[in-house]
Structures are given as C-alpha cells and as structure tokens.
Homo-oligomer: A and B are copies of this chain.
C-alpha cells in the first residue's frame, strides 16, 4: 500500500447517471477506512480548475446512496481541453495537497484524465458512470441498469395506452453510439422491433417486420428507436414514413428524453458503484494510475484508460437473436 497517498480528490464529469452518488460515497468511505482525507471537487474538471473543493467525511455522504444525479454536480469544461486549463487544474491540486484523483464519468472524462495524468504525472483512477453502457473493459457502467428499468417502466405505461387504442408507438430511447439500452429495453418491454446504431437494418426490414406482426394479428406495436440509429430519418420522419406506407395504423411518437438519466438507482447500480468506489481507492493505494476500474464477470478489474475509451464491444448478437425469437 502506498504510504504517500494522504489526500484523494473525487469528481464527477460528463452526463450524470444514477449511482454516481453511491460511487462518491464509496470513495469517501474507503478513504475514511484507509485514513486518507477525501476532497470532493464540484462541477467536474471546471470546478477543479476553479478550486471548488470541500472536505468529505463519512458523514457527508449519509443518505446519498439512494439519490439520483450527483451532489458534486457535473459540467462541461472547454478550458480543461487546453493545456493551460489542465496546468491550472494541477496547480489547484497541488495547492490543497491532493495526491491522487478518482474521476467518475464516461469516455470524455477519461480522455481528459489521460491528458492531465500524462502532463502532470498525478495518479488518476476512473470509474465508469454513464447510462449508455458504452465503455470498454467493464460489463456494466453505473447507471445503465437503472436507466433500463426507467425505460421499461415508461414503455409499460405506453403499452397500456397502445393496446387500449390499437396503436403503433415509436419510442425513442438514449444511445447515440450504443444500442444496449434499446436492445435490452426492447426485449424487456416486449417491443416488436428495435432500431439501433450498430446495424442499419434498412427501413425495408422494419416495414417487413411490421407487416409480419400485423398479419399475425397484432393490433398494437412498440418500436424502440435508439437516438443514434442509422436510418437517416429522425423519429418523426420515420413515423410519417410508416404512416404513408402502411395503411390502417394509428401511429404515435414518444421521446423519453432526460428522465432516463435520473431517479433512485437500482440495487444493482448501488452495489456496483459501491464495489467500484472501493476498488478505485484501493487501485490508487496499489500504485495504479491511468486506469479505469470496471466489472468483468463480477470481479473488479482495471484497464488502461486508452482501452476503456477505444471503441466498444460489438453488439450482443445473441441478445439480438433472443429479441427476434421472442417477438415472433
């Protein structure tokens, strides 16, 4: 265990995700456990540059494990993208004597961390916190499981009205680059079809799929559409296209939007965040740096930031197959 680590800073950056508070709590409590001072840094890298610090004790993080969002707040920072900005940030860290950093966020966060670490040689460990599950080197990111439940719960509600009125709903869910939310919530909500960034199924196949489902006697349908899908049409244009080419369907659009980011974290996300928070502090104490701690086959592991942000796992083809079969 490194003896020279006396003070660890922790921040959240990028889009917020349910479970971030649980991760901050675990980092704080782990520091307390190992007799290290924990410094909360507000507003991500921007707050780091501006020195928005606060000492966190075991008590500071009481009653946060069940709260959505991040009490340390998050922000985008143009300044941190510059060498000068990062130099300022490092200065602030030195001023208060922070020996190492835990950064919680997604690939943008880790990219920033790489630069800071390389330019100023300060130990940094990352924790994957994003609802998109688009980080390499971890089976799950914090917030993803909660977002799936939020989406499925919303689509359950939409299904109530869809089947009361024999309607076809297009439901847009988050996922600019990754179809994980759409694929899993599509299976979970019993959707008839999904449109995701990883495959360009072509509008033809979607129409086929709809016609098949209609022939089978289905009178109401749900199509889950990931933000980043590749049809070239936005969801309202898609609805219009279907309406023009498939008579008799009463079509509606629902864009779930930012509510997918909030809410009390699921038990899974709270436990995952607790594991990774402890794991991040212990990784620092083992002398690791420039790595993200993630979960692989239920074990906490570390991967280089470069690996974490480098492209992502391919789509889970097996799961795609399960959707096709169970949608019959």
- Whether the pair A267, B152 counts as a contact (CB closer than 8 A) is yes
- Whether the pair B325, A278 counts as a contact (CB closer than 8 A) is yes
Min C-beta distance of A167 to chain B, whole Å: 9
Binds B, one of A113-121, A185-193, A195-203: A185-193
- Whether the pair A149, B149 counts as a contact (CB closer than 8 A) is yes
Instruction: Known contacts A29-B326, A268-B268, A319-B275; decide if A69 and B163 are in contact (CB<8 Å).
Output: yes
A215 interface residue per 8 A CB criterion: no
- Whether the pair B68, A184 counts as a contact (CB closer than 8 A) is no
Min C-beta distance of A146 to chain B, whole Å: 10
A259 interface residue per 8 A CB criterion: yes
- Whether the pair B326, A263 counts as a contact (CB closer than 8 A) is no
Q: Tell which of B16, B151, B166 touches A160, judged by Cβ atoms closer than 8 Å.
A: B16
Min C-beta distance of A145 to chain B, whole Å: 6
The CA-CA distance from A113 to B158 in the complex, in Å, is 28
- Whether the pair A267, B161 counts as a contact (CB closer than 8 A) is no
Residues of B within 8 A of A206 (CB): none
Residues of B within 8 A of A323 (CB): 274
- Whether the pair A263, B16 counts as a contact (CB closer than 8 A) is no
Q: Tell which of B65, B151, B165, B322 touches A267, judged by Cβ atoms closer than 8 Å.
A: B151
A270 interface residue per 8 A CB criterion: yes
Residues of B within 8 A of A160 (CB): 16, 18, 67-69, 261-263
- Whether the pair B271, A187 counts as a contact (CB closer than 8 A) is yes
Min C-beta distance of A24 to chain B, whole Å: 11
Residues of B within 8 A of A33 (CB): 325, 328
The CA-CA distance from A303 to B184 in the complex, in Å, is 25
Residues of B within 8 A of A185 (CB): 267
Min C-beta distance of A48 to chain B, whole Å: 16
Q: Tell which of B58, B189, B267 touches A149, judged by Cβ atoms closer than 8 Å.
A: B267
The CA-CA distance from A300 to B159 in the complex, in Å, is 29
Number of residues in A with C-beta < 8 Å to the partner? Answer: 89
Instruction: Known contacts A164-B73, A188-B65; decide if A59 and B156 are in contact (CB<8 Å).
Output: no
- Whether the pair B69, A270 counts as a contact (CB closer than 8 A) is no
Residues of B within 8 A of A328 (CB): 29, 32-33, 58
Binds B, one of A225-233, A238-246, A250-258: A250-258
A314 interface residue per 8 A CB criterion: no
- Whether the pair B65, A145 counts as a contact (CB closer than 8 A) is no
8 tightest Cβ-Cβ pairs between the two chains A and B: A157-B262, A160-B262, A68-B160, A69-B160, A16-B164, A148-B267, A188-B267, A69-B164
Residue numbers of A with Cβ under 8 A of B are: 12, 15-16, 18, 20, 25-26, 29-30, 32-33, 58-59, 62-63, 65-70, 73-75, 139, 145, 148-154, 156-166, 169, 184-185, 187-190, 216-217, 252-264, 266-268, 270-271, 274-275, 277-278, 297-300, 316, 318-319, 321-323, 325-328
A-B contact pairs, 14 of them (CB 8 A): A26-B322, A68-B160, A75-B165, A75-B166, A149-B149, A153-B264, A156-B264, A157-B260, A157-B261, A157-B263, A188-B270, A253-B257, A275-B318, A278-B322
7 additional A-B residue pairs with CB within 8 Å, beyond A30-B326, A148-B266, A157-B263 = A18-B160, A26-B326, A62-B190, A63-B190, A66-B189, A68-B157, A148-B268
